[in-house]
Chain A
Amino acid sequence: MSTTKPIKAVLVGNPNTGKTSLFNQLTGLNQKVGNYPGITIDKKIGFFKTKSEQEVKLIDLPGTYSLYPRSKDEEVVINILSNPLNVDYPDVVLVISDAINIRRNLLVFSQIKDLGIPTILIINMIDAFDKERADIDLKKLEENIGVKVVGTDARKGIGIADLRELIEPTTDGYEFQKSDYVSNQLEDGERHQLYTKAIGIKNTYLAWHWYVQKHLRNQLSDDKKTKLEDVEKHYPTEINQTICEEIAARYKAIDTVIDNCTVSAKKTESERSVKLDKIVLHNVFGYVSIAVVLLLVFQAIFSWSVGPMDWVDLQLSTLGSWIGKSYPDNFVTSLLSQGIIPGIAGVVIFIPQIALLFFFIALLEESGYMARVVFLMDKLLRPFGLNGKSVVPLISGFACAIPAIMSTRSIGNWKERLTTILVIPLMTCSARIPVYTILIALIVPRGFLFGIFSYQALSLMLMYLIGTVTSLIAAFWVKKMLPSSHESYLLMELPDYRMPRWQNVGLTIWEKTKAFIMGAGKIILAISVLLWLLSAFGPTDEYYHAETIVTAKYEGQNITENELNKRINSYRLEKSFIGAIGKTIEPAIKPLGYDWKVGIALITSFAAREVFVGTMATIYSLDDDGDQVETIKQKMNNDIDPATGKSRFNVASSISLLLFYAFAMQCLSTLAIVQRETKSWKWPLIQLVSMTGFAYLISYIAYQLLK
């Protein structure tokens, strides 16, 4: 092996074995996130050096219990390990097992070993408590299974140096021994002869995987595929049975090995977990604690993030206006100060929310609490085609759909994850609040129900309710529409409670934030700049002569310069391309009760819903800052429709607009993040068309009934 090329290694193991901790211990901050071709799973790659300065490229493969995958994530493992031509095919596989559940962990280890790739087994103590429970003689284990075994405590970094030493490029002397199962049971029979010959692979267990796992076959030539299909015709139904026999045989062999290596039989139960579960899984307290935790998460992304968000906003808008004032007034300056910098602000503004949400999600996952949430919520969410793990993303959707959609990663079942992603934007996010507040203030009188509950607050609560109910109904509908490749089932480990590892929490936050900026951030920036361009240019000369025209109009009237500037801006917006588009779509939105002014606001607020308020302020020539709700409300109230002689914003059009904002996909950042998470434009487009179409329909009905 050449010393210039890095050693290729992969890390495989069951979930909850401390795999991520070990990966972080080995590679530190020296990691990046890449893509596997054609699928939506992140590929975590890290680099480190062995004692002799040989570089190792380590890929952290998705956690799995076996080489027979049950999700797209798990398919990655066999895809890489089955194909020596794959760029990621490893020189060495590191299989990690936790010190307590060795038997179950050894299943996937024994399968990988039979593929004939050099393997190292890592027995990891996840927690100090494990020392009391672990009862295995590692030396004996090494003799029994025939590969190097290293004990680690990934949390404290113990054993990491030993592991580095073992990865030294001494794999040449590796002797492959297939397990008894393969030589005694699998290699027996005519079918086996036929498919091994058809594929032309020497390793018989590898050939078996090529035979039974159809998704691997795309890599084969047509000739071989046909031959395999011929073999299949002769042996149609036995595959599942053979797999079950394999697993039973492997467990039997593992039991013999472990019984040999066990020092003493100790109690394996974690008393701490049992005690905590008495409360956490309680019929009443279980739900109370979920409510408290969700409230905390909601509170964090809803209000704790406001401070940092305002700070970011202030810094970038100060920078923007500084550039605008300090440099000559030309296209480049405006592009920078009004297009690009606000665009960047539109991306950066999400970072506090994303970081906070993933801080909590990492805590919930790391501590083992998330599995309890799944247990308690499964029955309630099942009718809607959602997973117990959908709860946290859905509730996060109340704050902001962007981090919420990113957090669906933890849902293993693709259909349930996609359903969650598709319905999250219907939850009432915080960007809708400014829009709701103004419209509600416009139509709902001040006053109190029973002297306590403000009518306006009740209306706002009703909007939240509408959003939540609609997203559940939508989930039910999506469940019916999406084809199901396999039956829904729930089979997951309930891990013991663990102290979260702060390094893992920190790295999760870092990774998610980076992924957002690099992925959705680019699209958000591009569309923000496009929207600015549309407002910075106009189709006619009137746009460019706005100043002269408006000044002439108000000549002789007693008007301050400030007032005049606001009128010029308002006129300019009306005559810009965006204004032109607003007027063009007016016939389409008139049946909903909106005029071209609302049309403009609908287009600009596509960047973010709350922009609606700012745009209405500009259109009505108001200050674009400070407490504007009352003044905008008055202006909107005084906007008389000449045709009817009444206010344009009557109860009918306001309710229509409220409903439109409740349902319409008015958020390009959400579309960008859905594109990133599903790796396809198909789903964001479906969301855009169905949500906005539905919003149009409902608003139309509401306006026509109420007007």
Chain B
Amino acid sequence: MITLNQAKKGITYLINSIGDSSIQSKLMEMGIIEGKEIEITNVAPFGDPIIVRISGYKLILRRKEAQTIKITSI
């Protein structure tokens, strides 16, 4: 199991769990839920932040937040 931070751009992964952090519930509210598919679609020019696709829409988040999201490859 890896974190979203280590995911390769353009590859779809399965969300395994969202780690305990001050924004854990915020990530979940935005639809980052265990069992959903997630894919990094863009990485900002300086490596951070990233854009992910989840349930058909896109979210911008920082590497720091991505680190709390555990994923597995499909």
A residues in contact (CB < 8 Å) with B: 65-66, 68, 70, 100-101, 103-104, 107, 240, 243-244, 247-248, 251, 268-269, 277, 281, 283, 286-287, 371, 374-376, 378-380, 486-487, 489-494
Contacts and interface: CB of A to CB of B under 8 A. Distances in A.
- Number of contact residues on B: which range applies? 20 to 34
Contact of B60 (A240, A243, A486, A491): A491
A371 B51 CA distance: 11
Interface of B: 18, 20, 22-31, 33-34, 42, 44-49, 51, 55-62, 64-65
B22 to A, nearest CB: 6
A486 B18 CA distance: 19
A103 B35 CA distance: 15
B9 to A, nearest CB: 12
Contact of A490 (B24, B29, B56, B61): B61
A103 B25 contact: no
B28 A100 contact: no
Contact of A104 (B22, B25, B30, B64): B30
26 contacts: A68-B25, A101-B57, A104-B31, A107-B29, A243-B25, A247-B25, A268-B56, A269-B56, A277-B42, A286-B45, A371-B60, A374-B60, A375-B42, A375-B44, A375-B51, A379-B44, A379-B46, A489-B22, A490-B49, A490-B62, A490-B65, A491-B23, A491-B27, A491-B60, A491-B61, A493-B59
B30 A487 contact: no
A268 B58 CA distance: 11
Contact of B29 (A68, A374, A379): A68
A361 B19 CA distance: 37
A283 B44 CA distance: 7
Nearest to A243: B25
Nearest to A287: B45
A103 B65 CA distance: 22
Contacts of B18: 244
A405 B56 CA distance: 35
A244 B27 CA distance: 10
Q: What are the 5 closest A-B residue pairs judged by CB atoms, nearest first?
A: A268-B56, A494-B58, A66-B29, A379-B46, A283-B45
Nearest to A268: B56
A68 B59 CA distance: 19
A100 B57 contact: yes
Contacts of B25: 66, 68, 240, 243-244, 247
B49 to A, nearest CB: 5
B3 to A, nearest CB: 16
A65 B30 contact: yes
B65 A100 contact: no
Nearest to B51: A494
B65 A248 contact: no
A182 B59 CA distance: 29
Contacts of B64: 489
B47 A379 contact: yes
A287 B46 CA distance: 12
A487 B27 CA distance: 14
Contact of A492 (B29, B42, B59): B59
Nearest to A103: B55
A491 B59 contact: yes
B34 A104 contact: no
A101 B30 CA distance: 11
Contacts of A491: 23, 26-27, 30, 59-61, 65
